[in-house]
Chain A
Amino acid sequence: MSGGKEHVEIPYQTKFGMVINLDKCTGCGACMVACMAENNVPVRYDESDKLRSITWMRVYKLTNGKPFPETDVCWLPRPCMHCEGNPAHGFSPCVSVCPAVATDYSRQTGIVSQIYTRCFGCRYCMGACPYKARYFNWWDPKWPDGMKQYLSPDVSCRMRGIVEKCSFCFHRYQRAMDKSFYQASQGGREDTRLLEEEYQTACAQACPAGAITFGDLLNPEHTVYKLIHATYKDKAFRILEKTLGTRPKVYYVSSKDWVEAAADNHTKKVAKAAPGGH
C-alpha cells in the first residue's frame, strides 16, 4: 500500500542513504553499539543466541574462502537497506507485504518506517526481507540495572511481540526538521532542506574509521551523492541489487573484486560467511 497521505507538503524530495567503504571497516562493532544505545535496543542477559538478539546494524565477516596465504577477510556492516523496490508494486519487499500498513515507504525521505504500535507481529515482513534486517521482540524489553536512566527519550521502546528494524535514526531527522522548520519560519534559512551535518545516523557518527557516510542521495552537495556519482562512479555496488531488484539505498565500496562479487548471487559462489561476525 502506498500509505497515508502526506500531511505536510514539502516542495522538494530527499532520499537518504549510505555509502559504506568496506576497505575502511575494521569490524570493531562501534556502529552496532552506537545504534543500540541510540535506539533503545534491549539487551538480554545471555546474548549468545544470535538468531534471537536484536541488531539493527549487524557486521558480517566475509572470507574469500581461499586457503592461506591467499585468505582474505572483509567486514560488512548491514543496516536496513531501506529498499525502494518497485513503486508500482508497493516498494520494498517488506512494505508490499505488511497486511496492516505497519511498515511504510516515505516518498518524502525514502525511509522505510516501522510503526511499533501498529505492528501485530505476524512476521511476514521478516520472511520477505532477503537481508534479514528485521527483528522480532521475543521478550519484553529489559535493561540492566540503572541503564534505563540512559534511554533516549526520543525513541519509543518496543513491546514484545512486534517487529523492529533500523530506521536510519528517524528521530534525528524529525529533530532536525523541527529545527529547520522553526528557523525557516523565523527567516533564519532559505528553505527547510537539511544540510548534511544536520542529520546523521548514530552509526555514521560512531565509526572511528569513517567508513560510513550518510546523507541525501539526491542532493549534489552531500558527500554520499559525490561518492556515488564522482569518486566511486560505477564502482559503488548494492547487495542483491542486480538479481533481485530491491533497489537498496545502502551502497558499498571495496577495492577487492571478490567482495563486490559477493554482493550478489552467481551460479559460482565467490565468498562465504566466516565465523566471527557480530
Chain B
Amino acid sequence: MFPFIFEWEWDMAHYVFMGGLYYALGIVSLGVAYVVAKALIQTDQGHGHGDGHGEEHR
C-alpha cells in the first residue's frame, strides 16, 4: 500500500492501481475538507439559515 512496505515495487501495476486509489481518496478528502472549512468560516461569519438546501427548499 505504501512504498515503504517491502512488497512495494515501482512498476506500472502499482502506478496505475495506487495512482487511481490515491487520486480518488485525494478528491474525496479534499472535498470533505473544503465543505467543512467553508461551513466553519460561514458559521463564524454569522451566516445563518435561509440559503440552504433544507427540506423546505426542495
The answer on direct contact between A and B (beta carbons under 8 Å) is yes
Q: What string of 1s and 0s marks CB contacts (under 8 Å) between A1-27 and chain B?
A: 111110000000000000000000000
Chain B residues in 8 Å Cβ range of A169: none
Least Cβ–Cβ distance between A99 and chain B, in angstroms: 12
Which residues in window 1-34 of B have CB below 8 A to A?
6-7, 9
Given the complex of chains A and B, what is the CA–CA distance between A4 and B9 in angstroms? 9
Interface assignment of A101: CB less than 8 Å from any CB of chain B: yes
Given the complex of chains A and B, what is the CA–CA distance between A29 and B30 in angstroms? 62
Least Cβ–Cβ distance between B26 and chain A, in angstroms: 23
Chain A residues in 8 Å Cβ range of B7: 1, 3-4, 101
Given the complex of chains A and B, what is the CA–CA distance between A2 and B14 in angstroms? 12
**Tally of contact residues, B, Cβ under 8 A:** 3
Least Cβ–Cβ distance between B9 and chain A, in angstroms: 7
Chain B residues in 8 Å Cβ range of A2: 9
Least Cβ–Cβ distance between A2 and chain B, in angstroms: 7
Given the complex of chains A and B, what is the CA–CA distance between A2 and B10 in angstroms? 12
The residue in chain B whose Cβ has the minimal distance to the Cβ of A5 is: B6
Chain B residues in 8 Å Cβ range of A5: 6
Given the complex of chains A and B, what is the CA–CA distance between A277 and B9 in angstroms? 45
Given the complex of chains A and B, what is the CA–CA distance between A5 and B7 in angstroms? 8
Least Cβ–Cβ distance between B12 and chain A, in angstroms: 13
Given the complex of chains A and B, what is the CA–CA distance between A101 and B5 in angstroms? 12
The residue in chain B whose Cβ has the minimal distance to the Cβ of A90 is: B13
Chain B residues in 8 Å Cβ range of A101: 7
Given the complex of chains A and B, what is the CA–CA distance between A3 and B6 in angstroms? 9
The residue in chain A whose Cβ has the minimal distance to the Cβ of B13 is: A1
The residue in chain B whose Cβ has the minimal distance to the Cβ of A3 is: B7
The residue in chain B whose Cβ has the minimal distance to the Cβ of A2 is: B9
Chain A residues in 8 Å Cβ range of B9: 2
Q: What string of 1s and 0s marks CB contacts (under 8 Å) between A141-165 and chain B?
A: 0000000000000000000000000
Least Cβ–Cβ distance between A157 and chain B, in angstroms: 25
Given the complex of chains A and B, what is the CA–CA distance between A101 and B9 in angstroms? 13
* The 7 residue pairs across chains A and B that have the minimum distance between CB atoms: A101-B7, A4-B6, A4-B7, A1-B7, A5-B6, A2-B9, A3-B7
Query: Which residues of B does A touch, CB under 8 Å?
Result: 6-7, 9
Query: Which residues of A does B touch, CB under 8 Å?
Result: 1-5, 101
Provide 7 A-B residue pairs closer than 8 Å at the C-beta atoms, listed in order of the A residue.
Answer: A1-B7, A2-B9, A3-B7, A4-B6, A4-B7, A5-B6, A101-B7
